[in-house]
Amino acid sequence: MRIILLGAPGAGKGTVASALHEKYNIAHISSGDLFRENIKMETPLGKQAYDYISRGDLVPDSVTIGMVEERLSAPDCSKHFMLDGFPRTLAQADSLDRFLAESNREIEAVVSLLVPDELIMKRISERRVCVSCAAGFSLTFNPTRVEGVCDHCGGQVIQREDDKPETVLSRLRTYYEKTRPLEEYYRARGLIIEIDNSKGLQPTMIDLECALRDRDIEFEGKS
Ligand code: ADP
Ligand code: ZN
């Protein structure tokens, strides 16, 4: 399967993508995680992205598109991948179409994760992340066994700088302005699958897997 996960910050794109990755070993490409890795490694790309991310603005397309397209060129993405956090602008979406066409690939579905605004604010404020392996946790839904320590790798678990309330509002504003229009863009092509992600991961996974099967999108026993 080749899908895009769309949704506001905190809608659960990363959680759903991680669950599908665990279950079916489909490549999970998170632009946010790619940026955070680059920032941690202090690469030139990380240095370019840092200020935008800490303000809650989008990193310019000129930086973002190349980074994601490079990742999509890796062998593990040749047939199956999930994009989480990309595209976020119409220019990114256009570029993605052209890039995939060069290798005879196309997006098969765009999953729009729906969550009411109140829940988004609550989820983001409770979200924690491992600085070493990027695993996500929540203070209420899936807390770490030991406070501040990653269950998977023992790394340090913290609140992302841009998950603090000052920055969240600006990220939400950016989402409505720049990313929301992508819904219409993909809806016009019949690609949108709407999934309610306000009831927890299990019901979301059941709805999503049904919708993917309905559309004959390959994901189980994929090779
Ligand atoms: P969330 O999904 O919770 O908003 P992400 O980890 O996807 O968080 O993104 C964190 C930040 O990284 C964004 O606020 C933005 O600054 C930057 N970013 C991620 N993806 C993109 C993208 N496709 N285009 C531009 N900036 C991006
Ligand atoms: Zn970890």
Residue 71 is part of a domain; what is its CATH number?
3.40.50.300
- Does 171 participate in catalysis according to the annotation? yes
Q: How far apart are CA 198 and CA 119, in angstroms?
A: 8
Atom of ligand 1 nearest to the CA of 86: 23
Residue 187 lies in a domain: yes
Residue 80 lies in a domain: yes
Residue 32 Cβ contacting ligand 1 at under 6 Å? yes
The tokens of 159 are what? 């609140």
The tokens of 80 are what? 């199956």
The tokens of 26 are what? 């489909």
Coil, strand or helix at 179: helix
The pLDDT tens digits for 156-204 are 999 998 999 889 999 999 999 999 999 999 999 999 999 999 998 999 9
User: How many domains would you assign to the chain?
Assistant: 1
Question: pTM (2 decimals)?
Answer: 0.92
The pLDDT tens digits for 57-86 are 999 999 999 999 999 999 999 999 999 999
- Bridge partners of 30? 84
Where in the sequence is the domain holding 198, given as residue range(s)? 2-117+172-214
Amino acid at position 96, single letter? L
- What are the respective helix, strand and coil percentages of the chain, to the nearest 5? 50, 15, 35
Atom of ligand 1 nearest to the CA of 56: 14
